[in-house]
Structure 1
Amino acid sequence: MELTTADCVSRTPVPLVLRSYLDELVHRTRAVCGPHLVSVLAVGSLALGDYRHGRSDVDVTVVVDDALPHRSLPELARKLAHPALHCPAAGLELVVYPRAFAARPSDAAGYLMDLNTGPSLPERVSYDAGESPAFWYVLDRSIAHQAGLPLYGRPVRDVIAAPRRAAVLTALRASVREHAQGEGHAADNRVLNGCRSVVYCRTGHWFAKRRAALIVAASEADFRPLLTEALRSFELPRESALALPGAAVREFLAWVAGRVDQALEAEGGHGTSL
């Protein structure tokens, strides 16, 4: 059974401000990929029910069959790039996977195309999965498997396999390391991603960043002032994010890294190489 955005409105948290945009994105993707299109899925903050207009990106996963001509990918990028398709969100992060790859657990990046575009995102398109750190894609597929919203085509569990827990924990360790360096990431997002990492280690499930921060704040009084300030900043547009105290952010992320390492040890090893 094929689904459109309109079919999902009554049972998903897709915001009204994005529905016509996502419908047009699906329409253009179907026009380019034709019968080779398997699924279009909303992932990220949309899937977790915590999209913040003016702050969040729109994250989309596209799955195509392995017979899709590779010449279709640059055409798809042109059709979906802002402003050819005006993105009402901070940006669009869209990843295209071949069906055979997406259907099995993997710790690789594995994409056919990775497109970043939009008003607040540096324009980028990659057709070589070897160009990108694999950990972001492992985390995205893990979130997609748990909570992805079908916009078109096959249901998420039919097309996206859950990466193994050890691979997810290894990916979390790499993401925390990158957030600790701080380059290219707002401080509030680094802190809230850290909260989400800790809650995943505890529960094996993905929570929206704000909910994860409240969970961690409830149990970790020493970090409560920083988490409260990060949540206050996250309510603001991306360009108006608050400056958080650097030493406190670094201390928190070092604590997060320790929790991820403990989870990896409990898993019976040091995970996989990403």
Structure 2
Amino acid sequence: MTPASGPPRSLPTELHSYLQELLRRTRAVCGDHLAGVLAVGSLALGDYRHGRSDIDLTVVVEPSLPGSAPHDLADTLAHSALPCPAAGLELVVYGADFARRPSGEAGYLLDLNTGPSLPDRADTDPARSPAFWYVIDRSIAHHTGLPLLGGPARDLVATPDHRDVLAAVRASVVEHSGGEGHLADNRVLNGCRAVVFCRTGRWVAKRTAAREIAAAEERFRPLVDAAVHSFERPRALAVALPDADVRAFLGWVRERVEEAARAAGA
């Protein structure tokens, strides 16, 4: 495994000391069983906004990792033990034997959410979670993951089959259509990213996707622009968006995802 040398310079300076300590603690718990750590989401895509974005990390460990290690890792990385400077930490641990093969399952060893803006969650039973978020995250990790420890992202995490990814994107749009637990701006921007992925096969930052959709779909431009404006504010200052407009947009997004799924035979 590549030795720790500190967070890459491309990551926000506000996170350097936190990530350095997080990596140290992760190595202390996992030892030689640690295969790699990837930054994913906004950190990898260059769209992190301090006070709004989460720190999204994918950790891959060898199957020989002791069974108590995921619980120990959750304890040492909890916000109460290591205060998170971002809105939250979303860290998912996978076994290397699972992560290195395509799968449409959740498959994690640990799903940790912690931080000032996230409800604490440390789950080790993937059967309790909808698989779609993890399928999408592994696809993003494979294509855009930024190594913090270990080798290239493509060597650590396989992307799920395209049909499984499209099914997961469809499920995520349904989830956002309900609205419960999600900010309106994030629902819109995730919808933009879903359409761009379906049209191009590329995972891009939410605001990049928003610019592409606003340029191509004039009728949705005011809503998308308003979502971007809100997304650039801290979560507590997010701007309310017209719910009827958000639902209409997500209905259109779902139709685009369904078209892509049919074309792929999903």
TM over 0.5: same fold? Answer: yes
CA distance in 2: counterparts of 1:149 and 1:20, whole angstroms: 17
- 1:233/1:241 contact within 8 Å kept: yes
Partner of 1:205: 202
- Aligned AA (1:94): L
- Structure 1 residue 6: Cα displacement: 3.0
- Structure 1 residue 7: Cα displacement: 6.4
Structure 1 residues 7 and 16, CA, compared in 2 at 3 Å: closer, same or farther? closer
- 1:50/1:208 contact within 8 Å kept: yes
- 1:92/1:118 contact within 8 Å kept: yes
- Aligned AA (2:76): K
Partner of 2:43: 46
Aligned partner of residue 6 in structure 2, secondary structure: helix
Partner of 1:246: 243
CA distance in 1: counterparts of 2:69 and 2:186, whole angstroms: 34
- Aligned AA (2:155): D
Name segments (4+ residues, structure 1) moved above 2 Å. 3-8
CA distance in 2: counterparts of 1:38 and 1:218, whole angstroms: 41
- 2:7/2:20 contact within 8 Å kept: no
Partner of 1:156: 153
- Aligned AA (2:4): T
Aligned partner of residue 75 in structure 2, secondary structure: helix
- Structure 1 residue 153: Cα displacement: 1.5
CA distance in 1: counterparts of 2:116 and 2:74, whole angstroms: 16
Partner of 2:217: 220
- Aligned AA (1:2): T
Structure 1 residues 3 and 217, CA, compared in 2 at 3 Å: closer, same or farther? farther
- Structure 1 residue 154: Cα displacement: 2.3
Gaps of 5+ in 2: none
Deviation sequence 1:69-117 (CA, Å, 0-9, x none): 1111111111000021110000000000000000001000000000000
Partner of 1:179: 176
- Aligned AA (2:14): V
Structure 1 residues 187 and 3, CA, compared in 2 at 3 Å: closer, same or farther? farther
**1:1-274 equivalent positions in 2, closer than 5 A:** 2-4=2-4, 6=6, 8-9=8-9, 13-268=10-265, 271=266
Deviation sequence 1:34-63 (CA, Å, 0-9, x none): 110000111111111100100000001100
CA distance in 2: counterparts of 1:157 and 1:86, whole angstroms: 30
- Structure 1 residue 233: Cα displacement: 0.3
Structure 1 residues 235 and 16, CA, compared in 2 at 3 Å: closer, same or farther? same
The range that moved more, 121-130 or 153-162, is: 153-162
- Aligned AA (2:68): R
Aligned partner of residue 151 in structure 1, secondary structure: strand
CA distance in 2: counterparts of 1:19 and 1:266, whole angstroms: 43
Deviation sequence 1:226-264 (CA, Å, 0-9, x none): 001001100100011000000000000000000000000
- Aligned AA (2:6): A
- Aligned AA (1:69): P
- Aligned AA (1:6): G
- Structure 1 residue 221: Cα displacement: 0.4
- Structure 1 residue 164: Cα displacement: 1.2
Count of residue correspondences: 266
CA distance in 1: counterparts of 2:27 and 2:152, whole angstroms: 16
Gaps of 5+ in 1: none
CA distance in 1: counterparts of 2:180 and 2:226, whole angstroms: 20
Identity of aligned residues (%): 63
Aligned partner of residue 149 in structure 2, secondary structure: strand
Deviation sequence 1:176-228 (CA, Å, 0-9, x none): 00000000000000000000000000100101000100000001000001001
- Structure 1 residue 120: Cα displacement: 0.3
TM-score, normalization: structure 1? 0.95
Structure 1 residues 201 and 85, CA, compared in 2 at 3 Å: closer, same or farther? same
